[in-house]
């Protein structure tokens, strides 16, 4: 496969190269792309040096697959230009996710929506992604009526600027407002503000959780509300998820279903202080679920705690899994 990575110098781009190498993804030619300021930089992959190129030269090379992780505006501008030359684009940004023509895919959950005709495929938002694995299996079993989600999202999800801000604040240094990713300190703080506010007082991350969940689970009837919080945590995103089911459930059956699901590891031995944490989830591809318990305040209510490495399953790993799915199911030549 001739593979292009657009955003190869970014945080997700970096993890992408690691994941492609670990999983031995079949690459015959690798094209690394970043913004104008990085053209000419050298990045090594599996012991070979690659020179960072412009998007235009990557389009001319007509790769089989282009994985985008370079922000919404870059995807908006270039994804269709790649698709026009026959490249399958797997896009990590939010730009195309809610487009009716573009599948939004977590392979273990809804890989079956992919077809040979899809030249533009979206990767879900990191906080949506990790909860899709447990929610899909529970929705199938007991039918989800309503979700109340509170996230504790790692600053790494905001990209390089956020990491620079965190590191500077940790050392007691102050960056200029332009250099900062957030309007408040992130070190030793938490911000109930992920993405941008819209006119309704919700943030873009909160809206993404609602809309993307409904699209991936193919069910617009699920009532969903969310509060997304950015925390000074490295390693992964954590989520407290309160679920109201339409049907009665058995707690042991819930745990069994989660334990039997591909990509999920249940860590739920509270008597021995066993539950998922972002430090433990760091650098792993699975979604970790724990604190699984009944919500006694409503009929058919369940609480759980879901953690995953936001740069791996939440971003890089899922894009590579989509590419692998296309190959395995012969949806790409």
Residue 183-222 contact track with ligand A2P, rule CB under 6 A, x = bound? ----------------------------------------
Q: Which is nearer to ligand A2P, 110 or 165 (CB)?
A: 165
Report, in angstroms and rounded to the nearest whole number, the Rg of the chain calculated over CA atoms: 20
Q: Which is nearer to ligand A2P, 76 or 232 (CB)?
A: 76
Instruction: Name residues whose C-beta falls within 8 Å of residue 10's C-beta, 6 or more positions apart in sequence.
Output: 34, 69, 70, 159, 160
Which one of 4, 13, 132, 265 is in contact with ligand A2P (CB under 6 A)? 13
Residue 55-84 contact track with ligand A2P, rule CB under 6 A, x = bound? x--------------xx--x----------
Least Å distance, CB 243 to ligand A2P, is 32
Q: Identify the three-state secondary structure at position 124.
A: coil
Q: Does 178 bind ligand A2P (CB under 6 A)?
A: no
Q: Identify the three-state secondary structure at position 183.
A: coil
Q: Does 6 bind ligand A2P (CB under 6 A)?
A: yes
The alpha carbon dihedral of 273, 275, 277, 283 has a sign of positive
Dihedral of the alpha carbons of 318, 323, 324, 325, in degrees to the nearest 10: 90
Give the residue from 318, 330, 333, 328 showing the smallest Cα distance to 103. 318
By CB under 6 A, which span of 34-42, 89-97, 182-190, 264-272 interacts with ligand A2P? 34-42
Pairing relation of β-strands 42-45 and 48-51? Answer: antiparallel
For residues 71-108, b (16+ Cβ closer than 10 Å) or e, as one string? beebbeebbeebeeeebbbbbbbbbbbeeeebbbbbbb
How far does CA 2 lie from the centroid of its chain?
24
Least Å distance, CB 36 to ligand A2P, is 7
Q: Which is nearer to ligand A2P, 70 or 137 (CB)?
A: 70
Q: Does 34 bind ligand A2P (CB under 6 A)?
A: yes
**Which residues carry out catalysis?**
126, 237
Q: Does 43 bind ligand A2P (CB under 6 A)?
A: no
Q: Which is nearer to ligand A2P, 31 or 138 (CB)?
A: 31
Which one of 38, 143, 225, 277 is in contact with ligand A2P (CB under 6 A)? 38
């Amino acid at each position: 496969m001739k593979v292009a990575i657009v955003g190869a110098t970014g945080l997700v781009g970096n993890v992408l190269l690691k994941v492609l190498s670990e999983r031995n993804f079949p690459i015959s030619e690798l094209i690394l792309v970043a913004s104008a300021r990085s053209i000419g930089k050298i990045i090594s992959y599996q012991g070979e040096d690659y020179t960072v190129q412009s998007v235009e030269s990557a389009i001319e090379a007509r790769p089989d697959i282009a994985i985008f992780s370079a922000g919404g505006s870059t995807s908006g501008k270039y994804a269709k230009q790649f698709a026009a030359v026959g490249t399958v684009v797997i896009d990590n940004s939010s730009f195309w996710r809610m487009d009716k023509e573009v599948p939004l895919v977590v392979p273990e959950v809804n890989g079956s929506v992919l077809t040979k005709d899809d030249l533009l495929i979206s990767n879900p938002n990191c906080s949506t992604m990790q909860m899709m694995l447990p929610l899909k299996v529970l929705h199938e079993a007991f039918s989800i009526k309503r979700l109340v989600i509170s996230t504790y999202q790692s600053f790494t999800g905001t990209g390089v600027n956020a990491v620079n801000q965190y590191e500077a604040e940790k050392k007691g240094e102050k960056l200029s407002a332009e250099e900062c990713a957030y309007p408040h300190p992130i070190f030793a703080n938490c911000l109930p503000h992920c993405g941008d506010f819209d006119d309704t007082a919700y943030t873009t991350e909160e809206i993404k959780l609602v809309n993307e969940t409904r699209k991936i689970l193919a069910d617009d009837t699920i009532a969903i509300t969310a509060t997304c919080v950015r925390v000074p945590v490295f390693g992964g995103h954590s989520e407290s998820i309160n679920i109201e089911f339409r049907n009665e459930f058995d707690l042991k059956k819930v745990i069994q279903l989660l334990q039997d699901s591909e990509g999920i590891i249940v860590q739920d031995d509270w008597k021995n202080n066993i539950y998922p944490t972002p430090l433990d989830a760091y650098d792993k591809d699975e979604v970790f679920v724990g604190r699984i318990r009944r919500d006694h305040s409503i009929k058919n209510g369940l609480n759980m705690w879901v953690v995953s490495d936001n740069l791996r399953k939440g971003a890089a790993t899922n894009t590579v899994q989509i590419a692998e799915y296309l190959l395995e199911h012969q949806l790409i030549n």
